[in-house]
Amino acid sequence: MKRSGKTNTTPVVAQDKKDATIAKWEKKLAVLKRWTREGMPENYEPLRFSLSGFGEWEDASLGVEKIGYTTIHNKEYSKNKTKAEELLNELKASAKKVKSKDEVGDLKRDLKDEKDLTQDLTNQVHKYRR
């Protein structure tokens, strides 16, 4: 667009920024969708299950970048925000299930190890008493 013989590039710059922001949203949402299907990687800690955590989340290996607080809450991106909340809630629920299932399994293994150790120590005591 020309004004007084000068070229105004602001709309192009703004559109580039918007396109980059949309790409960030799409990448993050794609990773979350994949994780809801396949499960989160074991011991993956960087993601907090909140919108602020989602915005701050960045991981070069996954290609996800930070999204600012004002962008997260911008009405223009409300559909993305809603989808992110849905996926985060789904992941949070599945993470709790996996954690509690793993926790029960870990406790059962610990109990078995304790029983085995107790039996081994009892056998040793009886062996030396003879």
Give me the residue spans of the domains in the chain.
2-97
Position 100 scores a pLDDT of 59
Q: Choose between 57 and 9: higher pLDDT.
A: 57
Q: Is the pLDDT of residue 65 over 80?
A: yes
Strand partners, 64: 59
Angle subtended at Cα 64 by Cα 58 and Cα 70, rounded to the nearest 5 degrees: 70
Q: Give the model's pLDDT for residue 47.
A: 67
* pLDDT tens per residue, range 98-121: 555 667 777 778 778 788 778 777
Burial class (CB in 10 A: 0-12, 13-18, 19+), 71: middle
Q: How confident is the model at residue 1 (pLDDT cuts 50, 70, 90)?
A: very low
Q: What mean pLDDT, rounded, does the chain reach?
A: 82
Confidence check: pLDDT of 36 > 70 = yes
Residues in the chain: 130
